[in-house]
Structure 1
Amino acid sequence: MSSVSTQYEQTGRTRQKARTRDALVAAARELVTRGGSPPTVEDAAAAARISRTTAYRYFPNQKALLVAAHPETETKSLLPPDAGDDPEDRILSAVKAFIQLVLETEQQQRTMLRLSLEPDAAARELPLRRGRAIAWFEDALEPLRQQLTDAGVHRLAVAIRSAVGIESLVWLTDVAGLARDEAAELMQSSALALLRHSRP
Structure 2
Amino acid sequence: MEEGGTRQQILVHAARLFGRHGYYGTTTREIADAVGIRQPSLFYHFSAKHVILSELVDADLAQTFGRLQEARALDASWAERFHYFLTISSHDYLTLPYDARGYYSDAIFTEPEFESQRLSIARFHEEVRALVASGIQAGEFMDADAEFVQRAITGLQFEGMRERETNASAPVAHRPLQVSDFILRAVLVDPFRLDEVRSATQSRLDGAVSFSL
Query: TM class, shorter-chain normalised?
Result: 0.5 to 0.7
Larger relative CO (CA 8 A, sep 6+): 1 or 2? 2
Does residue 1:65 correspond to 2:57, yes or no?
Answer: no
Q: Distance in 2 between matches of 1:168 and 1:179?
A: 10
Q: Percent identity?
A: 8
Q: Distance in 2 between matches of 1:91 and 1:155?
A: 15
1:54 positional shift: 7.7
Do the aligned partners of 2:78 and 2:135 also contact (CA within 8 Å) in 1? yes
The match for 1:78 among 59, 63, 67 is 67
Q: Is the 8 A contact 1:28 1:69 kept in 2?
A: no
On the 8 A contact 2:90/2:157 being kept in 1, the answer is yes
How far apart are 1:98 and its partner, in Å?
0.9
Provide the TM-score with structure 2 as the length reference. Answer: 0.55
- 1:187 and 2:149 matched: no
184-193 or 131-140, larger mean C-alpha shift = 131-140
CA-CA distance at 1:192 after TM superposition: 0.9
RMSD between superposed Cα atoms in Å? 4.6
The 1-side partners of 2:129 and 2:37 are apart by 42
Structure 1 pair 158–120 and aligned structure 2 pair: CA distance change class (3 A): closer
What residue is the counterpart of 2:10 in the other structure?
Answer: 28
The structure-2 alpha-carbon separation of the partners of 1:124 and 1:88, relative to structure 1 and needing over 3 Å to count, comes to farther
List runs of 5+ in structure 1 lacking aligned partners: 1-22
Q: Deviations 1:6-40 (Å, cap 9, x if unpaired)?
A: xxxxxxxxxxxxxxxxx764132232476665764
Q: Say if 1:27 and 1:48, in contact at 8 Å, map to a contact too.
A: no
In structure 2, C-alpha distance between the alignment counterparts of 1:84 and 1:180, rounded to whole Å: 29
Alignment check: 8 A CA contact 2:10 2:31 kept: yes
TM-score (ref. length: structure 1): 0.57
Match of 1:95 among 86, 111, 120: 86
Change (3 A) 1:155 1:111: closer
Instruction: Provide Cα deviations, 1:65-96, integer angstroms capped at 9, x if missing partner.
Output: 12313442323331437512401110111001
Q: How many aligned positions are there?
A: 171
Q: Is the 8 A contact 2:144 2:187 kept in 1?
A: no
